[in-house]
Amino acid sequence: MKRALITGVTGQDGSYLAELLLSEGYEVYGLVRRKSKLDFGNLEGTEALGKIHIIFGDITDMAAMLNAVKISQPDEVYNLAAQSFVAQSFREPVASANITGVAAVNILEALRTLKPDAKYYQASTSEMFGGCIDEQPVGFDGYIEDSPFHPRSPYGAAKLYAHWMTKNYRESYGMFACSGILFNHESERRGHEFVTRKITSAAAKIKLGIIDCVELGNLDAKRDWGHSKDYVRAMYLMLKQQKPDDYVIASHETHTVREFAELSFKAAGMNIAWQGSGTDEIGIDTDSGKTVIRINPEFYRPAEVDLLLGDPSKAEKILGWKREISFNQMINNMVENDLRIVSSESR
């Protein structure tokens, strides 16, 4: 039986990955940080929680990581723990650097010392490409593994450090260390402050009369959105290879936040018409005539990543990875799930 250690097991991806590995017959160890109230996040209410061996520890603590490796004796380690909210990384840049960047080296060092033959997965991100539109060449068809990096947030910069250290441990010590450069992926388990879940949850609440309106920031940012369940499968496939390497995982489609909002409200049974511009722009429900979307500049970022689009050709060719859940299907699933949650909470 293979043994896997997952950091960030309570998060969106961690919980789906734990379920996938359990279904593949793995013994799964999950690192959980101790809070004042015991909280297993996305694992709460899942069958997986009872099957995972929980190890308490914080990834910024080297002793905790040595302990986690000693206890789990992993064949595979998936480092998913991070302060993953880009907007928050501007408010706490140092904590984000420590958790999202430097802490990866705690794990790599713990493995180098205690279990150098373990395979390591680093959760890299499209935020490392970041960039400005005028840097993208004419005919741009998506970032690939060798595209230049230009992070635009403390989060992106921290992830880039962890990404390069992963490559360095592979090259310096011959460790099986891979990075998956994953573009945005969402799900019914997505945190509520990320724009997709914020919108699907608000659409459900507005539909059921719980709130009147949602406030958003930049409606014109473009993202390459896929579903987390498809993306954790790619992580698993990367560690199944003979040779460690880095892979872009993306849908190869890009959509604006505005489109995401239109489709989410539609899935909840409302049609949006836009009026005005800039911070005065509003989204109106065409049936009721009520304003359901407003702009609040509080949600603008000091620097924005205007457009993300990834080209997953290498992963499709070498890993045999293909996404199964379309953009529209993902939105429908998320809205349906939020309608169910909101209506049961309001009963």
Q: Which of 76, 127, 186, 188 is catalytic?
A: 127
127 assigned to active site:
yes
Quick one: what does residue 191 bind among ligand F7E, ligand NAP, none, with the CB cut-off 5 to 8 Å set by partner type? ligand NAP
Quick one: what does residue 86 bind among ligand F7E, ligand NAP, none, with the CB cut-off 5 to 8 Å set by partner type? ligand F7E
Q: Read off the tokens for 142.
A: 């998506």
Q: Which positions from 14 to 53 touch ligand NAP by CB under 6 A, shown as an x/- string?
A: x----------------x-x-------x------------
Stretch that binds ligand F7E, among 61-69, 119-127, 235-243, 245-253 (CB under 6 A): 119-127
Q: Residue 107 is inside which H or E element, if any?
A: helix 103-114
Using only C-alpha atoms, the chain has a radius of gyration, in whole angstroms, of: 20
Q: How many CA atoms lie within 13 A of 105 on its CB side?
A: 12
Q: Which of 7, 10, 100, 125 is catalytic?
A: 125
125 assigned to active site:
yes
Integer Cα distance of 164 and 19 in angstroms? 29
Angle at 105 between CA 99 and CA 109, to 5 degrees: 140
CB 141 within 8 A of CB 309: yes
Integer Cα distance of 292 and 284 in angstroms? 6
CB nearer ligand F7E, residue 5 or residue 305: 305
Residue nearest to ligand F7E (CB): 221
Residues 6+ away with beta carbon under 8 Å from 110? 62, 65, 66, 68, 69
List contacts with ligand NAP (CB under 6 A).
7-8, 10-14, 31, 33, 41, 58-60, 80-84, 99, 123, 125, 182, 184-185, 191
List contacts with ligand F7E (CB under 6 A).
84, 86-87, 125-127, 183-184, 193-196, 198, 216-218, 221, 223, 257, 299, 301, 304
Catalytic positions are 125, 127, 155
